[in-house]
Amino acid sequence: MNPYERYALPWVIDVACGAKPIREKRAELVPRAHGRVLEIGIGTGHNLRYYDPAKVTELIALDPAEQMHGKAQKRAQEAGLEVDVRGVSAEGIPLEDGEIDTVVCTFTLCTIPDPGAAVTEMRRVLRHGGELIFCEHGLAPDPGVQKWQRRLNPIQNRVGGGCNLDRDIGALIGADFDVSRMETGYMQGPKFGGFLYWGTAS
């Protein structure tokens, strides 16, 4: 890990993922989580303030970027939550089949090296009738925007800790899940990084 990844990247991600349009989506979606919850890619813990402690019986979180765990634990304390943070990636979730009631995945599929394998793992650990809550940025529908996404993706990948601009989130989730609700749209800001997919699946 180079000095940028260790010291600067956590701050960059914390600021980018704390933008107002993103906070609004978190506030809309995360309170749905209930029971035994698995959060994929907790980062610095921006979702934690939106969980309902009365509905969440246990919270497990995965993130291989261990330099962010301290900030996440601090936010968990501020939110009155206990969270079991594990420094592993989602391609190999260390849980048994059907253990989880709710999987929460926000602004994470862009970064996972093998997102297809991660989505398959999320489906595996989710119980029958459980719910995936997701909000991700990804491939835009407009050819002109797609062109810029693909052109800028190598730069974004380097400065964004492996973040990709051009992943088709709908196709990734739909390969393993029955998507019960998915909305899309541009958030305020540059279109190449601001096309969102959000909703629920089972």
Residue-wise DSSP of 46-97: TTGGGS-TTTEEEEEEE-S-GGGHHHHHHHHHHTT---EEE---GGG-SS-T
Q: Residue 3: left (phi > 0), alpha (psi -120 to 50), or beta?
A: alpha
Residue-wise DSSP of 140-188: -SSHHHHHHHHHHHHHHHHHTTS--S---HHHHHHTTS-EEEEEEEEPS
Residue 173 CB coordination number (10 Å) = 24
| Ranges of each domain in the chain | 3-201
* pLDDT for the residue numbered 5: 82
Whether the pLDDT of residue 2 is over 90: the answer is no
pLDDT digit string (tens) for 95-124?
A: 999 999 999 999 999 999 999 999 999 999
pLDDT digit string (tens) for 25-55?
A: 999 999 999 999 999 999 999 999 999 999 9
* pLDDT for the residue numbered 103: 99
Report the predicted TM-score, pTM, of the whole model to 2 decimal places: 0.96
Cβ atoms of 62 and 90 within 8 Å: the answer is: yes
* pLDDT for the residue numbered 34: 99
CA–CA distance, 194 with 18 (Å, rounded to integer): 14
pLDDT digit string (tens) for 152-188?
A: 999 999 999 999 999 999 999 999 999 999 999 999 9
Q: Fold for 3-201, please state it.
A: Rossmann fold (3.40.50)
